[in-house]
Structure 1
Amino acid sequence: MLEALRIRDFRLLWFARLISLLGSWLLVVAVPAHVLQVTGSLAATGLTLAAEFLPPVLLGPIAGVLADRWDRRKLMIATDVLRAVAVALLLLVRDPGDVWLVYLALVAESVGTVLFRPAAQAHTPVVVGTGPALTSANSLNAVTDGTVRLLGAPLGGALLGIAGFGALVWIDLATYLMSALAIMMTARLGAAGAREEGSADRFFAQLREGLAFLRAERSAASLLVVITVFLAANASLSALLVPFGVRVLGGSTQTGLVMSALGAGFLIGAPLIRRLVDRTPLAYLLGGALVATGMAFVLLFLSRSLVGALPAAVLIGVFGSAALVTTQTALQRVTPNAVLGRVSAVQFTGEAVATFFGAIAGPAIAQVASLDFAACLAGGVTVLSGLMAVALLSRTRVVAAPA
């Protein structure tokens, strides 16, 4: 799994991802907690989530064109600086009249992330190639995500009580600048993203080119459909996890342990999937991972104590990370690098829309029916996404697209 770390530029990109992601997760609990403390309003606190989802929904496809149109390395550096400036606005929030600055900061930070993610995903195959090193790179990124999930939110919550909100903001700001510096140290590699800007007509022509590729490339389009269905169900289940932990498992401490178990599963799943992605047919690997994830979710929500919940959460992390790494690696391989930014942006836009509506649907169904019914329904949709993967991709052979 460490093969990609032999490549100097990937080591720098991986460090940039690790440090900036950790800084962001330190604020996952701290920002809504600070808004609640300042305003005393649950509605104001809930709007922090909406502020982060709005830019991906509105700007995703545009971000993909820009990632294929501009120098991706420079774009990543610029967006890291933008996010550092955005986070700095949080230092000015001291009373209820300042809460609008929180939403402005979160929207600006999210805009930076929307631009950064497709550029980073499209730049990775340029750095490591599309062979086994790409699987290694994506597996390492999954390990990074799992580690941060495991440590970031609990660490942020602890530091919030010890050092205060302002200290966490300064840490997050510093991590974005450190990420920008690491990316600046990478080589200036020629890529599809280093093209002239052109006219507005050319901009929309490039947007149409990306959509035309998805219409023509069945495997890429099928992957996006399957993963979007999965992410909608996953968002519903994630939205139900905190109420389930508090009401059924016994409180916030138990909920935190379940979240840590999910992170542990991500750590376990990454090295396992590294061995399977290059050896197992895509349809059966992705389909099996999604079916197993759905079944593990049902087991989790049918549990009535940590004895059953923690093993189920670990399994969700293992198979969920396998599904995500498999999808990302396959998309990077079948998509020519010239349009990879646009295809990645479509993926992230679908993820944002699915997450937004899934997060609304899960609690709404639980309110009308029951929490157990809503969870089992979402678990069933996850299993359905796995069956869709087998049906849509069983005749697909993943062949690396020309650069």
Structure 2
Amino acid sequence: MANPDFRRLWTAGFISETGDWIFMIAMPVFVYQLTGSVTATATNFILELLPGLLLSPVAGVLADRWDRRRLMIGVSLLQVLVLLPLLAVDGPGQLYLVNLVTCAQAALTTIFQPAKYALLPSVVAPEDVAAANGLASLNGNLARLLGASCGGFVVGGMGLPGVLVLDAASFLLAVALLARPFGATQTAVVREPVWRAWVAGLKEIRNQRGLRLMVLPVGLIGLAQGLFAVLFVVFVTEQLGGGEGETGLLRGVQAIGGMVGGALIGTLARRTDPGRLLGWALLVFSATTALAWNSAYVTTAIWFQAALFAVLGAPGIGVFAGRMAIVQLHTSDATRGRVLASFQSVFDGFTALGMALAGALAGMLGLPFALDVQAALLGVAGLLALWHFRPGTRTAEPDTGTATDTGAASTARAPERAPSPTP
């Protein structure tokens, strides 16, 4: 945080994500108020998710094709303009406008995120990349708490105009923070057609051993996440005897652990390399998740479960920070946006697969065993990370000029700068 470029990038991301959460929570509430239809509300939720699945490869190409800072500014300004059609909404007859704006905002958010994470390694020193990712994830949790909490209240107390004003203000503040150039820029800008540029990103993954080794762990993490998303609701309902309130509480308290983990990740990241950070965070995540699932045999008290699920947020930040740092440091600056987007597609695809398999797995094996399988997948991913990225193991191809071991920097090296004081 002593780095002024990172501080501006971090703050801009926090403000922008807060606006995103206000919008994401407020729109389905507004749709239900407008229509009274559960189906219409569910449709609005789905439209928030689809662009992320469909546009990730294109978003990665854009993050490498254009200057990332300017891309983030352009996206933020477009997010303001896209809100304007909502001013014409005065009844259920304009529901299509609400859905179009929701879809457009989600698409723009999908473009913003790869640009932010592709830019991050250029503004911090290589040894600070994991810590920077942890702090970026921390601001995601802060934005989720603030934005999600405000979204429902704003649409209830101030109506749709209040949502528009707050959301637009968040994007304009982000633009103001990004207006001044950073000390570092992209080393190259891709000019190929979109499909060729996307294929070049896939080739980078194929050619870099460190990236190849990350595909399976990322897939397993996504699979576990998909199983969790579905089985968690069943667990709260059947094992704990809870309802909507308890489900929301246990999901929400994870942000508390996430904030603690984000605050501590800088210290941890300075003492270990990203591979070990990822591996041990996954093992702790796996053990804590298994404890939460199986503690229901001892007690179903919500306060006890809330404490366990709050703890879960901390290793989750370590998993995110380690995973992102490994990919960022094993990727050249010129292809980083596409590689990050491709890994996000792997994660999203396996998450969707986990969601699809959750019901069949629980029906075939029973809920308790299915929950333990979910925790075990995290443990296997952790063991793979510790094995693949163990100290002294070469994880980059010698002829690329990138890192030769898990603790070294790749060609995505930040410019030389005077060392900052250690907090």
Category of TM-score, reference length = shorter chain: 0.7 to 0.9
Aligned residue number for residue 177 of structure 1: 172
Judging by fraction of residues, say which structure has more helix. Answer: 1
Within the alignment, does 1:238 sit opposite 2:229 as a pair? yes
Distance between the aligned counterparts of 1:274 and 1:10, measured in 2? 14
Instruction: Tell me how far 1:76 sits from its aligned partner.
Output: 0.8
- Greater CA drift, 295-304 or 312-321: 295-304
What's the CA shift string for 1:200-246, capped at 9, x where partnerless?
3xx44433322221111121232243123212321331344455446
Distance between the aligned counterparts of 1:171 and 1:12, measured in 2? 20
Instruction: Tell me how far 1:332 sits from its aligned partner.
Output: 1.7
Distance between the aligned counterparts of 2:252 and 2:180, measured in 1? 33
Within the alignment, does 1:271 sit opposite 2:280 as a pair? no
Within the alignment, does 1:163 sit opposite 2:158 as a pair? yes
Aligned residue number for residue 344 of structure 1: 340
Q: Is this contact kept in 1: 2:255–2:310, CA < 8 A?
A: yes
Within the alignment, does 1:109 sit opposite 2:105 as a pair? yes
- Within the candidate set 130, 134, 141, 1:139 is matched to 134
User: Which AA in structure 1 matches 2:229?
Assistant: S
Q: Is this contact kept in 2: 1:63–1:114, CA < 8 A?
A: yes
Distance between the aligned counterparts of 1:88 and 1:225, measured in 2? 43
User: Which AA in structure 1 matches 2:62?
Assistant: L
Q: Is this contact kept in 2: 1:249–1:255, CA < 8 A?
A: no
Aligned residue number for residue 402 of structure 1: 411
User: Which AA in structure 1 matches 2:174?
Assistant: S
Q: Is this contact kept in 1: 2:221–2:347, CA < 8 A?
A: no
User: Aligned to 2:253, what secondary structure does the other structure show?
Assistant: helix
Q: Is this contact kept in 2: 1:215–1:221, CA < 8 A?
A: yes
What's the CA shift string for 1:110-132, capped at 9, x where partnerless?
22122212211121122223233
Within the alignment, does 1:213 sit opposite 2:204 as a pair? yes
Instruction: Tell me how far 1:283 sits from its aligned partner.
Output: 4.1
The structure-2 alpha-carbon separation of the partners of 1:14 and 1:320, relative to structure 1 and needing over 3 Å to count, comes to same
Aligned residue number for residue 387 of structure 1: 383
- Within the candidate set 214, 230, 238, 1:223 is matched to 214
Instruction: Tell me how far 1:259 sits from its aligned partner.
Output: 2.7
What's the CA shift string for 1:276-308, capped at 9, x where partnerless?
224335444322221322332333344322233
Distance between the aligned counterparts of 2:265 and 2:222, measured in 1? 19
| Structure 2 spans left out of the alignment, 5+ residues | 396-404, 413-423
Aligned residue number for residue 67 of structure 1: 63
- Within the candidate set 364, 372, 376, 1:376 is matched to 372
What's the CA shift string for 1:250-276, capped at 9, x where partnerless?
344333332332011111112333222
The structure-2 alpha-carbon separation of the partners of 1:199 and 1:378, relative to structure 1 and needing over 3 Å to count, comes to closer
- Greater CA drift, 69-78 or 144-153: 144-153
Percent identity between the two aligned chains: 30
Distance between the aligned counterparts of 1:93 and 1:369, measured in 2? 48
| Structure 1 spans left out of the alignment, 5+ residues | none
Aligned residue number for residue 398 of structure 2: none
The structure-2 alpha-carbon separation of the partners of 1:14 and 1:44, relative to structure 1 and needing over 3 Å to count, comes to same
Q: So what's the TM-score if we normalise by structure 1? A: 0.87
Q: So what's the TM-score if we normalise by structure 2? A: 0.83
Q: Is this contact kept in 2: 1:88–1:173, CA < 8 A?
A: no
